[in-house]
Amino acid sequence: MTTTGTSVATQVYRVYIKATPQAIWDAITTPEWTERYGVGGRAEYELRQGGAYRVPTTEAMRKAGARMGLSVPDVMVDGEVIELDPPRRLVQTFRMLMDDATAAEGFTRLTWEIDELPGGVSKLTVVHELEGKPQLAALSAGERESEGAGGGWSYVLSDLKTLLETGSSMGASMAPSTGPDHR
Amino acid sequence: MNDDDRVFRALADPTRRFLLDLLYERDGRTLTQLESGLEMTRFGVMKHLRVLEDAGLVVTRREGREKLHFLNPVPIRLIHDRWIDKYTERRVSALADLKAQLEEEFA
């Protein structure tokens, strides 16, 4: 595994999307939307404080894992809702279970902030607190994209913007041959 | 000026690229910390950071009494996804055309 040149701390990502805060909120929190962009997968949120969060492993994720020599578990990501104020703010924990080393780093804190701007544009800011979690930090920064581990938050947010603004995603998911819609 | 123009303009300056490199090395720095890596007045560094912020390449957040600067790679990713992929695609389709042409010739 390659180590990164970056230090491990909080990562902040921001994207401006021509969409309402509600549309962005739905795209983050409902499985019908989450399977259509980024690495795909149907995110299941129990939208209440203390509610569970999980992303069951898709066939595409399983294949991507196999190409990396991993036997991935049935749940790819899990966590818990800490705080929510729809459609403006969601704070949750996030644990990546893709491989043993990353899973062992445990839960991280992930904050989604959505601000409405004039002109039908919203600002989405993702803050991922990754202090002391080098494996997940590398994944989040997209440093293992060439291995097939996905392009991290930059890729996910770029694709989310494309989907909400054009109605279709780039379709360059973890499994380029199948795409997120054909699990 | 559109979003892409702002990104390219921000990246066109070596000092601003150096500031991004500093944040890549260690993210979430204060103005004072960034300033210490540069032979420039505080005001000069602030001006460059403002251009980077306007382009969306730097995002600031308040933590306690400090204002921290973070590198935001999303605008570069957007350009990559929108432009670079487009050119890669064309190259792929050019190869596909070549293959079709050759196969036709040697059929």
Task: Give the residue extent of every domain in chain B.
Answer: 1-72, 74-107
Q: Is residue A171 part of a domain?
A: no
- Bridge partners of residue A85, in order along the sequence: A89
Interface test mutation site (partner A, options B59, B66, B74, B92, max chain A beta carbons within 10 A): B74
* Predicted pLDDT at A15: 97
Give the domain CATH number at A151: 3.30.530.20
Q: Which residue does chain B place closest to A161, by CA atoms?
A: B78
CA atoms within 13 A on the CB side of B18: 12
Task: Tell me which CATH code domain B1-72 carries.
Answer: 1.10.10.10
Query: Using CA atoms, how far apart are residues A115 and A147, in angstroms rounded to an integer?
Result: 34
Q: Per the domain annotation, does A157 fall within a domain?
A: yes
Is the N-terminal amide bond of A87 cis, ω within 30° of 0? yes
Instruction: Specify the pLDDT at position B107.
Output: 67
Q: Does residue A177 fall inside a structural domain?
A: no
Residue A2 domain flag = no
| Ranges under pLDDT 50 in chain A | 1-6, 172-183
Q: Do A25 and A18 form a contact (C-beta atoms < 8 A)?
A: no
Q: Say yes or no to pLDDT of B80 above 90.
A: no
Prediction pTM value: 0.84
**Confidence grade of residue B98 (pLDDT, cut at 50, 70, 90):** confident
Residue type, B34: L
Put simply, the chain A residues between 15 and 34 with a CB less than 8 A from any chain B CB are 15-16
Phi-psi category of residue B15: left, alpha or beta, with phi > 0 → left and psi -120 to 50 → alpha: alpha
pLDDT reported for residue A53: 98
Element (H, E) at A79: strand A75-85
| Spatial distance between the Cα atoms of A47 and B66, rounded to a whole number of angstroms | 32
Share of chain B above pLDDT 90, in %: 65
The verdict on a CB contact (< 8 Å) between B27 and A7 is yes
Quick: pLDDT tens for A138-162.
999 998 887 877 889 999 999 999 9
The number of C-beta contacts closer than 8 angstroms across A and B is 61
CA distance A81 to B26: 29
What pLDDT score was predicted for residue A147?
80
**Distance of residue B92 Cα from the nearest chain A Cα, in angstroms:** 15
Q: Is residue A182 part of a domain?
A: no
In sequence order, which residues have a C-beta less than 8 Å from that of residue A134 and are 6 or more positions away? A3, A4, A8, A105
H or E stretch covering A91: strand A89-96
- Contact between chains at A14 and B78 (C-beta distance less than 8 A): no
Name residues 113-152 of chain A within 8 A of B (Cβ). Answer: 125, 127, 141-142, 151
| Residue A109 host element (H or E) | strand A108-117
Residue B55 has pLDDT above 70, yes or no: yes
Instruction: Please judge whether A14 and B56 are an interchain contact, meaning their C-beta atoms are less than 8 angstroms apart.
Output: yes
Q: Does A155 touch chain B (CB under 8 A)?
A: yes
Terminal alpha carbon distance of chain A: 28
Which residue of chain B has the CA closest to A5? B25
Give Cα separations from A80 to A12, A48, A63, A91, A107 (angstroms): 20, 9, 27, 9, 9
- CA dihedral in degrees (A20, A24, A26, A30; nearest 10)? 170
Partner residue opposite A12 with nearest CB, options B72, B80, B81: B72
pLDDT at B40 over 50: yes
Query: Which residues of B lie inside 8 Å of A (Cβ-Cβ)?
Result: 3, 24-28, 56, 59, 61, 70-74, 76-78, 80-81, 85
pLDDT at B87: 66
Q: Tell me the sheet residues that pair with B62.
A: B67
Kindly indicate the confidence band of residue B45, based on its pLDDT and cuts at 50, 70 and 90. Answer: very high
Domain span including residue A81? 10-166
The structural domain count of chain A equals 1
- pLDDT for residue B36 is more than 80: yes
Give backbone dihedrals phi and psi of B99, rounded to 5 degrees, phi first: -60, -45
User: Residue A173: inside a domain, yes or no?
Assistant: no
Residue B23 and residue B57: Cα distance in Å, rounded?
11
- Cβ of residue A172 closer than 8 Å to a chain B Cβ: yes
Identify the pLDDT of residue A179. 39
Q: Measured between beta carbons, which residues in chain A are less than 8 angstroms from residue B70? A: 10-12
Instruction: Compare all CA atoms of chain B with the CA of A130 and give the residue at the minimum distance.
Output: B27
